[in-house]
Chain A
Amino acid sequence: MKYFFKTNLLVLVVIVFWGCGESEPIQTDVQKLETIAVGPLFEGVNTATVEFDVQKILPTGVKKEQLTEVRIKSIQLSLVNTEAPTPNSFTVLLASPNTSMKECGFLKEESIKINNYKVSLAEEQEFLVEILQDKMQTLVIDFNLEGDWYDDLSITAAIDWELKIKN
């Protein structure tokens, strides 16, 4: 009986230590995703999307299911078609098949006016782990066009992730 309790205690200690293991940051390149809004596009709110799998940017041997902490350090947007009318607002969202779509950040009209396409990020980002662990991810960019554009419109998002996995 004495040994039974001791063994149980040992197992508990091991579990606790294992559970409390420090998360370790992993290095990834900035992920460039090209979203496309299929034209013709008309004045008003339009949407560009792209599906991706975050697994592709993870180091070899690391599985997305191992992710324990995810934050976005920065998102830089750039317009591919420079002749297209410049949108006056952008909202960046992420979604996946088994989670809810969430706002990750947005661009204010004032920063667009000074050609600053660095996205103001949402403070709450806890939802990102679940989204990145899902089988695929969708990046959505809603933008407000001030004029018509009769072609496709591409917006590139360069996402700098801060990723951690359990040791």
Chain B
Amino acid sequence: MNIKVLLFSFFLVPLLMVAQDEEDYSMYDDLEYADEGATTFASPKIIGLSPNRFINVAWDVQSPYTMNTSDTIGYLPDASWEIKESSNVNYTGGLRLNANIPVISRNNIVWQMGANYMNTNFSIDDADPSDGPILSELDRTSLNTTGLFTTVFKPLNDKQFLIFQGQADYNGNYTFTDFHSFGLTKYSAAVLWGKRPHDRLQWAIGASRTYRVGELNYVPIIMYNWTSKKEKWGTEILFPAKANGKYWMNKNSLIMFGYELEGGSYHLEGLSNNGNSFELRRGAVRPRIEWNRKLVGFFWLNAQLGTRINYGFTYDELENGKEFFRGFFGQQEIAAFSSLGTSLYGLVGISFVSL
């Protein structure tokens, strides 16, 4: 009897369950919600967007160029200056790491936290401190950026969305055994409001506080991401920070062509005295062509080849490390100037992505 009970429990009941399962749907377009439909929210993506990098490891290198530097005596922003130091920069490059991890990722909100590290080493010919302090300081040390950032994408409805981005960068020629004051951390932020009219277009407008061109600035932003009907061509624009056209050769290979502004404000410890922060305001325009290629699974290769055109390479002395805003028209004194020859650059990286 006991065996029969067990047999019944194991075999008969599942059979009864299967028998109840029958197909009874006729026209799938004539259905209604069992309670209510889910709210539709604008997706943060569009069709054909370049892969979203969760983790990226890259190496960036520039071809040799000439660097001229003025004396550190202070100048008006539009003043002419004389060359005090001039040398050939044989090597400029370093490692770049970036992690962008979703904290909350739902259809009604996406919140990501990230960290980045960027290192730039200079190898400068005859960088003798007796000729001037700046080139030897750059040659002797390397520039580091260690940052934390957060991005929130909040759809307001099926078409409109808000994006907030905040970033804290700790920049300077420190080493990981010799940190400088964290009071010198640079904060950037951006807020955008936008629309996603259809699956192949999203645009937004907003404003940002940025160090993209070296010194602090406040600029308007325009985002315009578009993919053609055939899903081959498109644009990915976040003006003025970057603007790219794109062409999908196939589903595993993407060519992008455009430019990116890259820069930051770096504390140079060896040139900072009396509690002041001597800062290099470095900004460059990088017109380039970029190739993204699927390696395996969700791992992609990205390779860039382009030129690095100097936008700004100036130095400010921040009293007690206090940041100031010069903008496009401010007349605050500039501590020193540098001019850089244009160079070719290349970048190779591997990313863990989502499409």
Contacts and interface: CB of A to CB of B under 8 A. Distances in A.
Interface residues of A, number: 11
A18 interface: no
How would you classify the secondary structure of chain B's contact residues: helix, strand, loop or mixed? loop
Contact of A38 (B23, B26, B28): B23
Contact of B25 (A37, A38, A42): A42
Interface residues of B, number: 7
B27 A42 contact: yes
Contacts of A151: none
Contacts of B23: 37-42, 46
A44 B25 contact: yes
Contacts of A24: none
Nearest to B29: A44
Most-contacted residue by chain A among B22, B23, B26, B27 (CB, 10 A): B23
Interface in A31-68: 37-46
Interface in B5-34: 22-28
B294 to A, nearest CB: 16
Nearest to A148: B26
Nearest to A45: B28
Nearest to B28: A44
Nearest to A37: B23
Contact of B27 (A37, A41, A43): A43
Contacts of B25: 42, 44
Contacts of B27: 42-44
A97 to B, nearest CB: 15
A144 to B, nearest CB: 11
Contacts of A46: 23
Contacts of A45: 28
Interface in B299-334: none
A142 to B, nearest CB: 12
Contacts of A41: 23
A132 to B, nearest CB: 25
B26 A42 contact: yes
A41 B27 CA distance: 11
Contact of B22 (A38, A43, A44): A38
Nearest to A41: B23
Contacts of A42: 23-27
Contacts of A39: 23
A141 B24 CA distance: 18
B250 to A, nearest CB: 16
A151 to B, nearest CB: 12
Nearest to B26: A42
A45 B29 CA distance: 12
A96 B160 CA distance: 44
A88 to B, nearest CB: 15
A20 B22 CA distance: 50
Contacts of A37: 23
Interface string B22-51: 111111100000000000000000000000
Interface in B224-240: none
A46 B23 CA distance: 8
Contacts of A44: 25-28
A85 B27 CA distance: 16
A147 to B, nearest CB: 11
A40 B23 CA distance: 7
Interface in A1-48: 37-46
Nearest to B21: A38
A40 B25 CA distance: 9
A72 B22 CA distance: 31
A132 B23 CA distance: 29
Contacts of A43: 26-27
A150 to B, nearest CB: 11
B355 to A, nearest CB: 19
11 contacts: A39-B23, A40-B23, A40-B24, A42-B23, A42-B24, A42-B25, A42-B27, A44-B27, A44-B28, A45-B28, A46-B23
Interface of B: 22-28
Given A37-B23, A42-B27, A43-B27, 12 more contacts: A38-B22, A38-B23, A40-B23, A40-B24, A41-B23, A42-B25, A42-B26, A44-B25, A44-B27, A45-B28, A46-B23, A148-B26
Instruction: Across the A-B interface, give the 9 residue pairs with the lowest CB-CB distance, nearest first.
Output: A42-B26, A44-B28, A43-B27, A42-B25, A43-B26, A41-B23, A38-B22, A46-B23, A148-B26
